[in-house]
Amino acid sequence: MDHFLYRDGVLHAEDVAITEIAAKVGTPFYVYSTATLTRHFQVFDDALKGMDHLICYAMKANSNIAVLKTLGDLGAGMDVVSGGEYMRAKAAGVPGDRIVFSGVGKTADEMKLALTGGIRQFNVESEPELDRLNEVAMSLGLVAPITVRVNPDVDAKTHAKIATGKSENKFGIPIRQARDVYAKAAKMDGIEIVGIDVHIGSQLTDLEPFRQAYLKVRDLTEQLRADGHNIRRLDLGGGLGIPYERSNSAPPLPVDYGQVIRETVGDLGCEIEIEPGRLLAGNAGLLVSSVIYNKNGDGRDFLIIDAAMNDLIRPAMYEAYHDIIPVIEPAVAAGSNPIDIVGPVCETGDTFAKQRDMPAVADGEMVAFRSAGAYGAVMSSEYNTRPMIPEVLVKGDQFAVIRARPSFEEMIKRDTVPEWV
């Protein structure tokens, strides 16, 4: 459920008309709903009720500080994958003991930053990383709390570019080698083992792969405990999918996902961590864009809009589907016609939808992309020297720009021309 509904014929974000925001900030822009973010967090929290747990928001999905603070103030921890994300989490007021550090390529500098600033745990993804972390921690006279991310070799049944739990993927340590790696870690003075981590992919629409992976983690927990390790925390990753195509998709609910956790690892006496990104932020955001031209091609019609692949790359990168709706509610009797919805960037891949059934939207009118709150703004770029678009946060009848659109001057002055050019 989200809080983007038509009211008096105009799409609203909570109590604010999209047209009002557009008049203030211009298009294109992203808009996020505080009520939706809050609701999604609470739904997850409820799903894990009765189990000692921490929801560590995978902030790569949307790392605007205002979004992080909204979730952090509700009690969320953060899953970070870079020094920059760590600094953002801190800037949003999230304490180090609620920050977990994931990623296959953590550098010594990033380890140092997190060790000195405070960290709940590192999710270690390889033996060389374990060695490096041990060295860095010892050089600082500190001890790094770790889980080892295991690769359970489970097919997540999602888009190949976002599946992470098969043995051919670069992520984690093959689960068969895990006992050896734990044995090695236990001997290191700079390392303290706290648990196990697993993450098998993103936009999963079936609970079965989670169940398979968590059962493997269960077996490993028992083996490692028998080996003498104090396994007290399980980080079960993120990945639960959202309904992008409202008309025909219904991914499992967090409550059912919570039940899988309960059934597979709920009785091990471990603290449970999960790292959802998309499910918290995805349906809490819209991308709003204006139609520049209706163009009639040879047997094909195009809606050319002012947002492009640099603003939302998911359709170009993963053939992802986003619902696109007019901001002014179409009349009940209005028909719809197939049209290609495209951006102004000079690439054929700058196509958001092909032959999509849409009611007529005239030049100058607006459309909204649903489910754009996750992996939208964070994956944007300035390709074609298009300024990064503003982000707006709504709460009830209030709204605020939480990242402003840079001017052309601001963009250009970031480059420097050496005197010898």
- Binding-site residues: 239, 275-278, 314, 318, 347, 375
Q: How many chain residues interact with ligand LLP (CB under 6 A)?
A: 19
Q: Choose which of 53, 90, 233, 314 interacts with ligand LLP (CB under 6 A).
A: 314
Strands 191-197 and 29-33, sheet pairing: unpaired
Q: Choose which of 238, 285, 315, 373 interacts with ligand LLP (CB under 6 A).
A: 238
In sequence order, what are the beta bridge partners of 234? 196, 272
Total length of the chain = 421
Contacts of 46 (CB under 8 A, 6+ apart): 254, 255, 258
The answer to the question of residue 106 lying near ligand LLP (CB under 6 A) is: no
Q: Which residues inside 34-93 make contact with ligand LLP, applying CB under 6 A?
A: 58, 61, 79
The answer to the question of residue 395 lying near ligand LLP (CB under 6 A) is: no
- CA distance linking residue 307 with residue 146, whole number of Å: 42
- CA distance linking residue 273 with residue 236, whole number of Å: 6
Nearest CA-CA partner of 70 in 361, 380, 391 = 391
The catalytic position among 1, 23, 250, 346 is 346
Q: Which residues are annotated as a binding site for substrate?
A: 278, 314, 318, 347, 375
Residue with tokens 């197939």: 338
- CA distance linking residue 77 with residue 63, whole number of Å: 13
- Distance from chain centroid for Cα 58: 6
Question: Number of C-alpha atoms within 13 angstroms, CB side, residue 215?
Answer: 10
Binding mask 274-293 for ligand LLP (x = CB under 6 A): -xxxxx--------------
Active site residue 270: no
Closest distance to ligand LLP from the beta carbon of 317 (Å): 7
Closest distance to ligand LLP from the beta carbon of 373 (Å): 11
3-state secondary structure of 83: helix
The Cβ of residue 272 has, within 10 Å, a number of other Cβ atoms equal to: 21
Residue with tokens 């990753």: 237
Interface region with ligand LLP, contact rule CB under 6 A, candidates 22-30, 211-219, 231-239, 262-270 = 231-239
The answer to the question of residue 202 lying near ligand LLP (CB under 6 A) is: yes
Which one, 51 or 378, has the nearer CB to ligand LLP? 378
The answer to the question of residue 375 lying near ligand LLP (CB under 6 A) is: yes
Interface region with ligand LLP, contact rule CB under 6 A, candidates 1-9, 130-138, 236-244, 385-393 = 236-244
The answer to the question of residue 199 lying near ligand LLP (CB under 6 A) is: yes
Closest distance to ligand LLP from the beta carbon of 276 (Å): 4
Closest distance to ligand LLP from the beta carbon of 17 (Å): 28
Contacts of 10 (CB under 8 A, 6+ apart): 17, 18, 19, 327, 328, 329
Residues that bind ligand LLP (CB under 6 A): 58, 61, 79, 102, 162, 199, 202-203, 237-239, 275-279, 314, 318, 375
Positions annotated as catalytic residues are 346
